[in-house]
């Protein structure tokens, strides 16, 4: 792909401060998003900007994902996520994210062959699993194992980042394929079953399902509807602009660490309940509603009561002020999977009733709170047989192509710099050391 294209200068903005007028460039992206370039602000004025949570700050220019939260638009490399979820497969989307175009037949075949070739993990790494505590969280295992890959493949270290970029197909497929194996092995470790090794005759998602659920006494037969659902879920999680974990990958990567270290940091960021752990919070909330009788009207009232500590998970999003396009797809996928597997999950009934009440309540409509991607995904995972503590692991598996693409793009950017935000200091002013026997 090379260096990402830059936004176009379209004008200037005036900043009036301390009797001075500073002209700041205004730039525009390909989807008419505009930004004020403050790159020289501190040099010219001594000032910095203060923006908690970076709600108004663009940290980079990127060609990977376009998101319009007001209109409910999400596109990967220009392709609507709805089209990709319907017509594509996760491996094809992974190639798209990394390379910027959909693969041709030969490119697809080569990429798939590399995924198969690199699906095994070094046998010595299996010893690591045996030494984790029985109740170790799969995300802790996943992040540790990913950063450990740099020990087994030292040729892809921070001293050779340029080689990683030159051989990005090998780097990407090695990580995509081995992360899938590590994820499945971590699940097997948690339930005390023997590991199931990847098979060359199964596609990416089918292979993962087989490694998760097959056993010596009960071979697993992959259901095409379940395989399609997993493909869809992974596609919908593939990237989401500069979110917490993606920004972490870019931030850590800006120190010129290897891809494994940057992705391990992203996994840790994704683990948080306000990010990738949100679908687990939704399931636990729905289960709690069920235990208390399933009265969704009471839930709505509690959510609106500012004195109540109850939080309604699965609604609203930092960016979307419209219906999350991913949520519509996942809702239908959820219905399809439960129908195929003949699962009657009362949590789906509670979720759909809750969504209807929220959408018809002025309180939520005024605040533009709509179901997000986490609201129905956990119900699908439950139906497939994936336990709650593996939900975020699946999210990480889906988000991996985006992390790789974002890391690659940042390393190739001509304006690459180590990321180092400023702060406004609010601590004590100058004071001097006092010996301990003189302190009051």
Exactly one of 317, 324, 345, 413 is catalytic; which is it? Answer: 317
Decide: 11 and 26 in contact? Cβ < 8 Å.
yes
β-sheet bridge partners, residue 215: 218
Cα gap 297→306, rounded to integer Å: 16
| DSSP string over 349-391 | HHHHHHHHHHHT-HHHHHTT--B-THHHHHHHHHHHT--GGGH
Element (H, E) at 173: helix 168-191
288 is catalytic: no
CA distance 415 to 410: 9
Determine contact, residues 204/91, Cβ cutoff 8 Å. yes
> CB-hemisphere CA count at 13 Å for 292?
12
Q: Are 271 and 277 in contact (CB under 8 A)?
A: yes
DSSP assignment of 306-356 equals TT-----TTB--SS-SS--HHHHHHHHHHHHHHHHTT---HHHHHHHHHHH
Candidate list 324, 345, 374, 413, residue with the active-site label: 374
Residue 374 annotated among the catalytic residues of the structure = yes
Q: Is 206 left (phi over 0), alpha (psi -120 to 50) or beta?
A: alpha
Q: Among all residues, which ones are annotated catalytic? A: 317, 374
């Amino acid at each position: 792909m090379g260096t990402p294209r830059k936004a176009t200068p379209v004008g200037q903005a005036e900043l009036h401060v301390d009797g001075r007028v500073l002209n700041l460039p205004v730039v525009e992206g390909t989807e008419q998003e505009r930004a004020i370039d403050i790159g020289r602000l501190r040099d010219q004025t001594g000032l910095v900007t203060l923006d908690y949570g970076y709600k108004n700050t663009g940290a980079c220019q990127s060609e990977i994902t376009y998101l319009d939260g007001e209109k409910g638009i999400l596109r990967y490399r220009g392709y609507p996520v709805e089209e990709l979820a319907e017509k594509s497969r996760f491996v094809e989307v992974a190639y798209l994210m990394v390379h910027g175009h959909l693969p041709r037949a030969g490119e697809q075949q080569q990429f798939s062959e590399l995924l198969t070739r690199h699906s095994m993990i070094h046998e010595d790494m299996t010893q690591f699993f045996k030494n984790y505590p029985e109740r170790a969280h799969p995300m802790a295992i996943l992040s540790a194992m990913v950063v450990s890959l740099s020990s087994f493949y030292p040729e892809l270290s921070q001293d050779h980042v340029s080689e990683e970029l030159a051989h990005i197909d090998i780097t990407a497929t090695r990580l995509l394929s081995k992360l899938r194996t590590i994820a499945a092995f971590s699940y097997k470790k948690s339930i005390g079953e023997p590991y199931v090794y990847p098979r060359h005759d199964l596609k990416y998602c089918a292979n993962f399902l087989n490694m998760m659920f097959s056993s010596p006494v009960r071979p697993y037969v992959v259901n095409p509807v379940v395989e399609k659902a997993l493909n869809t879920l992974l596609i919908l999680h593939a990237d989401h602009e500069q979110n917490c974990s993606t920004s972490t990958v870019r931030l850590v990567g800006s120190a010129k660490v290897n891809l494994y270290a940057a992705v391990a940091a992203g996994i840790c960021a994704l683990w948080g309940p306000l990010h990738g752990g949100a679908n687990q919070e939704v399931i636990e909330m729905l289960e709690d509603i069920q235990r208390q009788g399933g009265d969704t009207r009471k839930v709505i009232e509690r959510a609106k009561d500012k004195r109540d500590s109850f939080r309604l998970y699965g609604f609203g999003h930092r960016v979307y002020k419209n219906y999350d396009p991913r949520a519509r797809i996942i809702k239908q996928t959820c219905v399809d999977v439960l129908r195929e597997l003949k699962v009657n999950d009362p949590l789906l009934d509670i979720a759909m009733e809750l969504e209807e009440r929220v959408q018809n309540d002025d309180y939520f409509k005024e605040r533009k709170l709509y179901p997000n991607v986490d609201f129905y995904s956990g119900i699908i995972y439950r139906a497939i047989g994936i336990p709650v503590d593996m939900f975020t692991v699946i999210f990480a598996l889906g988000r991996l192509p985006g992390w790789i693409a974002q890391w690659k793009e940042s390393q190739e950017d001509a304006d690459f710099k180590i990321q180092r935000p400023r702060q406004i200091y609010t601590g004590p002013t100058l004071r001097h050391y006092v010996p301990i026997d003189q302190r009051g």
